[in-house]
């Protein structure tokens, strides 16, 4: 039997459609939004009209009836041009809407998913805290049952899509009790935007992703109804581990897009830029850099598509998702560095896309699980966890 990683006609048509949108609509405008640190509402609305926010969700909830591969294809094509737009889609779908689709009640799905799928509303994912990043099990935010409400107190940090004009909800992890062994029981609650006691801080001043929305959130006696619980009480941590496993495939696709975008820009520049009487692309040193960039982007693409195919087939995919995230984020950082070098002084100028890509690449080795965490996950899947515990 032979393995065929080629796309179906439907997936290829989607890929081409998003590719055209990215180049014709996003590319001419996004640089200005990026430099102003401004959220691109116009572009996001157009993405909503295209159905991108509803790609992996059933039609009965307003989705496009597609799959996770379709979402990842869209993310890669968007990130070839700009990562701020891509991460807005990734966080809105994988982190904002997917938990409701995976774990929500029928009532929760029908209340929230149609507006999330249309792009009319964005969802956010409240997991990370100021003192709790990779150690998500160390959550300090609490939610205490008080009659028919939950009372939430705590702080969440680095939360994407949490403070836009169209943010509609934040799914928040919080300690709701203790397990028999004394460990915290972490649950997930849906908190509508604008709920009294929820304070949305000013946007962070970031190195990259400057046209996306990222903020700190403060919960001071925030009350939500008892039916705001998402999934089973005490299962919030396990639920979000599943969401993060899937999200790593999406981030890998995004990172691959950035790596490919760096190659696209560098090939074009190498053809047009002349030095010493000929295009710099005629120099073998530049040719070899571009060849290595192409090889890296290709292997990253194979890695995330392999992980996605396992997810769609219902097979275990945790290790493959971690490998894809680890490899593609490294590839993105390396290709961004090389693209900047090929562009020379112009690569340091913000008017050139590679400067934006260079700034955007580093976070891919940190967000949704650091590279160190990916190595930890991979080593556990290799059966080495017992050795570490006994050492």
Which residues have a catalytic role annotated?
368
**How many residues appear in the chain?**
391
């Amino acid at each position: 039997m032979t393995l065929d990683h080629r796309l179906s006609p439907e997936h290829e048509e989607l890929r081409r459609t998003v590719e055209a949108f990215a180049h014709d609509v996003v590319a001419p405008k996004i640089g200005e939004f990026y430099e102003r640190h401004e959220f691109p509402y116009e572009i996001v609305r157009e993405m909503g009209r295209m159905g991108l926010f509803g790609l992996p969700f059933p039609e009965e909830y307003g989705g496009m009836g597609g799959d996770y591969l379709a979402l990842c294809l869209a993310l890669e094509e968007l990130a070839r041009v700009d990562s701020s737009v891509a991460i807005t889609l990734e966080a809105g779908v994988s982190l904002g809407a997917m938990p409701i689709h995976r774990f929500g009640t029928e009532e929760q799905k029908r209340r929230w998913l149609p507006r999330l799928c249309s792009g009319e509303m964005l969802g956010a994912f409240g997991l990370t805290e100021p003192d709790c990043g990779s150690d998500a099990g160390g959550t300090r935010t609490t939610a205490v049952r008080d009659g028919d409400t939950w009372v939430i107190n705590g702080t969440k940090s680095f939360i994407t899509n949490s403070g836009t004009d169209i943010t509609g909800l934040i799914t928040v992890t919080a300690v709701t009790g203790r397990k028999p062994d004394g460990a915290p029981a972490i649950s997930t609650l849906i908190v509508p935007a604008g709920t009294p006691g929820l304070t949305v801080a000013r946007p962070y001043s970031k190195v990259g992703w400057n046209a996306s929305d990222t903020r700190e959130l403060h919960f001071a006696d925030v009350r939500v109804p008892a039916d705001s619980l998402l999934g089973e009480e005490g299962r919030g941590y396990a639920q979000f581990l599943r969401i993060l496993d899937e999200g790593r495939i999406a981030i890998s696709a995004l990172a691959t897009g950035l790596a490919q975008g760096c190659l696209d820009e560098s090939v074009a520049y190498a053809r047009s830029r002349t030095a010493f009487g000929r295009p710099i692309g005629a120099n073998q040193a530049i040719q070899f850099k571009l060849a290595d960039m192409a090889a890296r982007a290709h292997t990253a693409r194979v890695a995330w598509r392999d992980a996605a195919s396992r997810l769609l087939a219902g097979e275990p995919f945790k290790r493959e998702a971690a490998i894809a995230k680890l490899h593609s984020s490294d590839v993105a950082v390396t290709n961004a560095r090389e693209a900047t070098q090929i562009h020379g002084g112009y690569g340091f100028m913000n008017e050139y896309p590679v400067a934006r890509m260079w700034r955007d690449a580093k976070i891919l080795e940190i967000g949704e699980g650091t590279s160190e965490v990916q190595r930890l996950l991979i080593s556990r899947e290799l059966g080495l966890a017992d050795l570490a515990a006994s050492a």
